Every structure is written in structure tokens, then in C-alpha cells.
Structure 1
């Protein structure tokens, strides 16, 4: 397992340690590299294994679920689960510095974390992309905070008119709720890659990008959305502390985000 992957595992475990043990389930992640199986997707076999384990854990859930990553790939099965509860009416708000809209053909890295939102829409990676019955089409996707966008993703965003909201806008929370309402959604799934935050807000970011949102701005946006729409589920991903001490320093703002999602 790479150093970055180990940091992501450590970050997820640090967050889990501050959550009620009775309310958490752990999905094992293979430590071996896995095989691409001729798909142009790194660790494809391991992704399938994690997806199966995650789906089993979600089937045992009675209510909406907060999924803690890991990288953004953990949102795939979580959104699938939420979509089954809200067929044809779910919107996905992707709070992330990166759109994650690549296909295996357009991806410069082969990392599924950069393809997951495209797979959620039912497009892209074969055997990982959601089926038409549960896919959330790009017409019901809102990108918020995306500011590191590859050319292929930019072309798709323009071609499909996917809204991209500036998190530094003074009326960001209002624009976000308006965008979800315009998508015709009756429920919303919130994907939060912590790199949507400005690097000054959190030290343990896997892929820090300048000019992100503040903790206060993010929690206010979450509160505004929850006041208007039922929350069908949420993901927090991308926490990659460099040490246990650094993880401890970052947990307070992360717990504020969890509080905004759950209270």
C-alpha cells in the first residue's frame, strides 16, 4: 500500500475513533495492490472487493449513512444505496476541489478516485459505473468548490451544463440550495472531499488546492441544504494526516462538519 493510501487509512481510522463505536461499521480494504484486469483502472480487483463489502454494510443500515473515506471512491456504493431509497429524485452535491469526472480513457492517472462521479452518473468505468436504475444523471449533479479541473473534465462540464459553484461567493449557501432545487431533487446526497476546504483550515489534506471554503462556510452550507432537503446520505473523504499528532489537531474542525451533518 502506498504512503498516500496509508495516510488516508490512518485519517479514516482517526475519525472513526471519535465516533460512537456502536454506530460504526468498518469495511476492510485490501492491502495488496490489486489487479487492473485490463480496464485501465488501477487496483480494479480491489475496488470490486471493497464495493462488495461496503454494499453489505449498507444493507444492514436502517437510516441514512455517513461514509468515511479513504479517497472519493467510497462514495460510489454509498450513493447507489441512497439512490435506491430515493429513485429518480436524488441530487448529488459534490463538494470537492476536483470534479472526478474522468473515464478510464481520459484519466491521466488511472486512479478511480478521479472517475467516481462519472461512474455515479452511470458512465465511464465498466463494472463500476452504476446501473441506469440507480445512476444519478449529470443533470442532477452540482459541483461546488471545483477549482482543479482537467481539460477533459472542463469540456464535459461545458457540454453537459453541469453547475460549478464558487465556494468563495458571499451567497454560496443560497446558490447551492437554488441549484439543487433547479435540479428537481427531493433529496440530496452530500459528498465532501475535505480538499474543498482552504488548506489553511486543515493540515491533513490529501490533495490541497488554494482558495477553498472555510469551515464556517462549509457548515453553513450544509445547514442551509438540510433545512430545504432531506439528507439521503453523506461522505467525508480525503483526510490524510502525516502523523497521529497532526490527526488529533485536525479532528476538531472535522467533528464540526460531522455535527452539521448529523445534529
Structure 2
């Protein structure tokens, strides 16, 4: 199966899921870095659907959860939009915004698959719940919510219950996990390649294993890539940097191998924060990774 040649870009300028302002400018920064032009050069048909509107003036928190209502509203709209893109026969490429948007992405995309596979390329597990979260920031909860665990407003978004199954999920690059997340990983048997495994096995073996594991059990593959999965020395413009991350070259190789698998059916790139960046370097890096993910060749 080859990657769909018709791409629809969906921007989600959301920064309500975390505490550091700036990731709402991520979609603009990535567009400025030449995302559409890069994909056109590779030979794709590209339609930019613009941005979903986010009201950043609202602060309607519920208990521990910050900005719950607006995040849920935006996520619902994103779910409907990404679902519609797939039903039109196009590939949804979603650009954030903070990682809370994945609640909407997965809710909409999963409607089109029996067993959606997910590669979560991230320094964090994003498996917190309102009970386990140290901060109450929803960008640390999208995977838990998508697995059916957490606040009912997030769990039942767009359709009731879990959107993905724990056995169809692979986390790559984790190096900052909270105690509650570690417990959930053990309890659900989630496959995680921490930076220890990446260093020890090498990225080719990690991706080979991940693809082999997902290929036999899934009928679609969504990549959710948080730029903080890369080391902050290479991707400085992210909201929650964690030292000791994946390199630029390792990440390009991972994207190339995911493309070569022929399994990819949707993708999102999140947490680019131009305020914290160095001359749009992180957005440029994101566009470069998109190039590799969509089959750009050096020769």
C-alpha cells in the first residue's frame, strides 16, 4: 500500500493544553517554513484547509483540568474535519498546536478503521489522567483519553469510549514518564521504546520492530510526532524540552522507514513553539521530517 497522494492540511493553533504560551503559532511557523511547497515538490496534491478557530480568551477549568470546555470543543471540530478528510479519500496532515489536539485527531481518524495503529513519537507518554496529572494540563492526557481513560468529556469526544486499543500503540523516544503513566503502561502492556532502547538497539531496529508489531494487528497507521521527541539542541522551539532526545538524523531515518512501510494513513506534528525557537529552526526541522515521511529522496 502506498501513501495517499492527496493531502489535506489542517491547522490547529491550540495552546490551551499546556502552560507556556506560543504553540498556537506553530501552524503559521510550519507553513512559513514551506510545508505545502515541500509536499508539492515531492509530487503530492495538497489542499490547505486553514486553521480551526480556537478562542484563547476562555479559561473554563473543571477541577484539576485546565481549559476543558474549549479544548473539547476544538477537539470535536478537529475530529469531524479529519473524519471528513478521510471520507473524501484524502490524507489528513494535522499541524498543532499542543499535543492535546491528538484527542480530536484520533477520535475522527479512528472512525474509519477497525484497528487503528498509532506511533507516538514523543519524549512524554501523555498517559496522565486528572487523578495522576501533576499539572492539570490536558496536553499530558491525550493518549489516556484515546484509550478510554480519563474525564468523560474527553473520553467520549465525537464517539463514546476508547478510540484506540493499547495493543495497537507504540511509543518511541520516551524519557520523561510520571509514576501514574508508568503504572498504566505496565497495566495495559503498552509497547514503549524509551531512549534507553533507542540508544541500545539503534533506530533502525526500533522502527523495524514497531512496524512488524503493528503490521500484523492494524488496518491503518497514524503518526503523532511531538517535536520535543527530538533533543532540544536540535529542536529548541518546543514547550516542554527534555534533554537526551532523538537526533535529527535518527528522526529522518525513522520517517523514511515509516514511509517505506507503506502503512501510513494519517499524521500530525505538534508542539512547535516559535517564541522559544531560534530563527524558525524547529519549524524548518518539522518540514524536513515531513519530507522524509512522505518519501522525499536524496537521489
Q: Which residue pairs with 2:35 in the alignment?
A: 19
Q: After TM superposition, give the deviation of residue 202 of structure 1 in Å.
A: 1.6
The correspondence for 2:53, drawn from 28, 33, 39, is 28
Cα distance change, pair 37–152 in 1 and its aligned pair in 2 (3 A):
closer
Q: Kindly tell me: are residues 177 and 187 of structure 1, through their superposed partners in 2, closer, same or farther at Cα, counting changes over 3 Å?
A: farther
Contact 1:66 1:235 in 2 (8 A): yes
Aligned pairs for 1:215-230 (under 5 A) are 215-230=248-263
Alpha-carbon shift at residue 170 of structure 1 (Å): 4.8
Structure 1: 4+ residue segments shifted above 6 A: none
Q: CA deviation at 1:46?
A: 0.8
Structure 1 gap ranges (5+):
none
Instruction: Measure, in 2, the Cα distance between the counterparts of 1:92 and 1:177.
Output: 15
Deviates more, 1:118-127 or 1:221-230: 221-230
Q: How much has 1:261 moved relative to structure 2?
A: 2.4
- Contact kept in structure 2, 1:167 and 1:212, CA below 8 Å: no
CA 1:59–1:149 in structure 2 vs 1: closer, same or farther (change >3 Å)?
A: closer
What is the CA distance between 1:206 and its match in structure 2? Answer: 1.2
Deviates more, 1:216-225 or 1:19-28: 19-28
Residues 1:57 and 2:90 aligned together: no
Deviation, 1:60, is 4.1
RMSD: 2.4
Residue 239 of structure 2 corresponds to 206
Counterpart position of 1:83: 110
1:45 to 2:77 alignment:
no
Residue 227 (structure 1) shift: 1.8
Alignment of 1:1-263 (within 5 A): 5-17=20-32, 18-20=34-36, 22-38=47-63, 40-61=64-85, 62=88, 63-87=90-114, 89-130=115-156, 131=159, 135-165=163-193, 166-183=197-214, 184-242=217-275, 246-263=278-295
Question: TM-score of the superposition, structure 1-length normalised?
Answer: 0.89
What is the aligned length? Answer: 260
Deviations 1:176-222 (A, max 9, x none): 33234324223211111101001111221211111111121112112
User: Which is worse superposed, 219-228 or 132-141?
Assistant: 132-141
